[in-house]
Amino acid sequence: MPDGNDFDGKHLLSLVRSGSSPFKGLWDVNLLIREIEENLDTQVIEILDISAGSNNYVSSCLKSS
């Protein structure tokens, strides 16, 4: 990435859940996920893989409670 980060846009949920978010210090992705889960009564099970910019998503899944 331009900022020197080696994040390839994949496995964001796994990285965030393990405390290795590529956005640490910039954006609390874990807080966002918790707010989504609580306010929408759902469970985030995957986050889109970004393959070539913000308009190229690979997959999306939400599991309702």
Contact 49, 9 (CB under 8 A): yes
Residue 6: how many CA atoms within 13 Å on its side-chain side?
A: 1
Q: Would you tell me how many other CB atoms lie within 10 Å of the CB of residue 11?
A: 16
Q: 39-64 b/e with 16+ CB inside 10 Å = b?
A: eeeeebeebbebeeeeeeeeeeeeee
pLDDT tens by residue, 3-13: 666 777 778 88
Q: What is the pTM of this model?
A: 0.61
pLDDT tens by residue, 1-58: 556 667 777 788 888 889 888 888 888 888 999 999 999 999 998 877 666 655 555 5
